[in-house]
Structure 1
């Protein structure tokens, strides 16, 4: 049986450009004036900081189309829970998944082998 490899990679340069573009849009919007809303990137972890849950949703509505425009599949993001930081401030961590999890890869291999 021939072997094959499945790859799932994210272009980190395009991701950084998407984050920077989202931050520029956030800083330019009137409803974010005077707030501490920003997106931070640390390797494969994106952290969204906002003053309220509503602003966090608006930031996602800005970030996801920026990623799509840079040809990054938004399904690679694993959304973490919204955490209260202090007062009304909130943050959410988005993990960039690269590759396929072991359990899922085993199911794929089993399906392929069963189909012969």
Structure 2
């Protein structure tokens, strides 16, 4: 029976490359000279440090730009609260979201059912599997989900016919 999986995965190598590019740009930019700003990649998060709120926002903008150029959607970033750091600096932790949260998976299934296509959708861990007897219905589901803004970057993998 034809099927595919709806997933939300982030290529961590591309995130690492984007962080390194952002660091290079921060080191070279004139408006950052003489102030302490940094971007650190951890296992599942990025820690941003800006000398003040303005510089932290500039660091965020640089990082987002580098991620977009490397085909990593900013939708996979979950920005935490800004925290004060030493010397009047500001720190912000950005979690990299992997997988589809259960609430979003339920929303995806609801959208598929409302479309009244002859498909079955089920949640499997952090992904949604869609099956159907007709491969054209599967293509319709992919087009439906691509057309919706779900605040989660979706990929369609494991297409089996």
TM-score by length of 2: 0.67
The match for 1:35 is: 35
Superposition pairs for residues 55-70 of structure 1, below 5 Å? 55-70=55-70
Q: Deviations over 1:36-87 (max 9, x none)?
A: 2010000220000111000001111211110011011111101111111134
- Pairwise CA RMSD: 1.6
Segment of structure 1 superposing worse, 73-82 or 103-112 = 103-112
Q: Which residue is 2:80 aligned to?
A: 80
Q: Structure 1 regions of 5+ residues with no counterpart?
A: none
Number of paired residues?
Answer: 116
* Larger strand proportion of the pair: 2
Point out 4+ residue stretches in structure 1 off by more than 6 angstroms.
Answer: none
Give, in whole Å, the separation in 2 of the partners of 1:113 and 1:2.
18
**1:44 corresponds to which residue?**
44
Does the alignment pair 1:103 with 2:71? no
TM-score, scaled relative to structure 1: 0.91
The match for 1:19 is: 19
Q: Distance in 1 between matches of 2:29 and 2:111?
A: 48
Q: Decide which structure has the larger Cα Rg and report it.
A: 2
In the superposition, relative to structure 1, how do residues 2 and 112 fare at CA in structure 2: closer, same or farther (>3 Å)?
farther
| Aligned: 1:94 with 2:94 | yes
Higher RCO (CA 8 Å, separation ≥ 6 residues): 2
Q: Which runs of 5+ in 2 are unaligned?
A: 118-161
Alpha-carbon offset, residue 4 of structure 1: 4.0
